[in-house]
Structure 1
């Protein structure tokens, strides 16, 4: 039996600007920018599948559209067109999630998805305690029992190696690596089948990066969560991802098993990325 994807993305388009007669056909573009009307085609016809228990890496330089794509999937940004389907029970796999009501999208964010942002300020309330941050996500997912929420929060914080004597502290007092770990705990609190990680190690010291990556790998192994990991750093993708998509100027230019892409890159841009890693 062929395994159905957990998440299917089809022809995702995101543009900033209305486009003009010169760029509507995607002719006369400089990379993915129209010099005539200023429209940016941030994501162009992005299609891929994410399977249960898989880590999918998305790599590309700054401006390649990978973070914009992530924002569209997490409903932080509206898509221009396209479809995404989540297999979350009977009948759900036929619904294009981009066309759902804001209430239904909120439900998916609170129950199906977890998100770890590059900048912890976007994922955490810096003036709430760490426990309060996790409780906020649990309340959004419909939990009401205070002692249960506290117990869940403690378990999660221990799981990401935040000492419990600091659980009532605000994340703004924490180092960057600790803030990312609190963000990961918060993102996992609703047991999401899908976790998005956007440039989670950028700006962290190398030893801290290694700790965060080890943590992500361990969580994925223990909980079997599917993850989409966006990074401009091929070393991060090599460590985490089973399969990899390479993006350039808003388009997918190469995809395949991570080992395959690292050992035998086909596209000139991917070759450049891989050789810069050697």
Structure 2
């Protein structure tokens, strides 16, 4: 990777805490913390000084056990949660000069509609289950300013076709679909405004293994074809191995190790990463 490449996304010292904090837990660095929880005031430090870059066409994997902060991080990146502190810059928004976390809610909506897409672990969060599948895509296009019905119909059909949803089922509601099909509709919706950055949060959790494989294949092929950058969260190292170029390992709200995925999986340095990798073997 060229050293002069400009990141698509740059995150600096992202912090998210639940609770007020106190003099004993000192902003998340204290002997009073059990893991990332303060026994004195009950504050949870879900993300602690998380920093990383994502480069054009790169898949960045984020792995960690349940409660490590990886899903909270994704919620913060998509403005589903407010950060406690930190900075985020997108190359495709205001030339990467404005901290996204300090923008108005109106501007954050604009960013969600134009510059990012997200696929949730639970399709109910990403889709309107009673709308038709093509209607879900149209909703995204309308939110980004589209008004041409013919264009939306054409684009929606093409996207559903791309994610292997049969054309004759495009008017059907996702509530009638299997979990794997719902995830594919979510992926089509997330891609509808050609975002340079896609966020994938545990997208194969709860799917049968054969369905997982087809969804992962689809993501891999779309990523290559469209050359989009992806941030991929998973607790499954098999998923990370298949898709991610680089990987961050999170534990108790902190990034404890990062590097090329092959390097992390073949020569893990941190005892926790070693334990994770050995549990896969």
Supply the distance in 2 between the matched residues of 1:5 and 1:93 (Cα, whole angstroms): 9
Matches within 5 A, 1:1-278: 2-25=4-27, 26-27=29-30, 28-88=32-92, 91-278=94-281
CA distance in 2, matches of 1:253, 1:37: 25
CA deviation vs aligned residue, 1:147-180 (integer Å, no higher than 9, x gap): 1000000000000000011111000000000000
Aligned residues: 277
Q: Which runs of 5+ in 1 are unaligned?
A: none
Deviations 1:223-254, CA, capped at 9 Å, x for gaps = 00000000000000000000000000000000
Deviations along 1:186-224, one digit per CA (max 9) or x if unpaired, are 000000000000000000000000000000000000000
Partner of 2:34, secondary structure, is coil
Q: TM-score, normalised by structure 1?
A: 0.98
Shift of 1:92: 2.8
Aligned CA RMSD, in angstroms, stands at: 0.8
For 1:28-58, what per-residue CA distance to the aligned partner results, in whole angstroms no more than 9, with x for missing partners? Answer: 1000000111100000000000000000000
Counterpart of 1:190 in 2: which secondary structure? coil
SS of alignment partner, residue 65 of structure 2: coil
When normalised by structure 2's length, the TM-score is: 0.97
After superposing on structure 2, the runs of 4+ consecutive aligned residues of structure 1 that deviate more than 3 Å are none
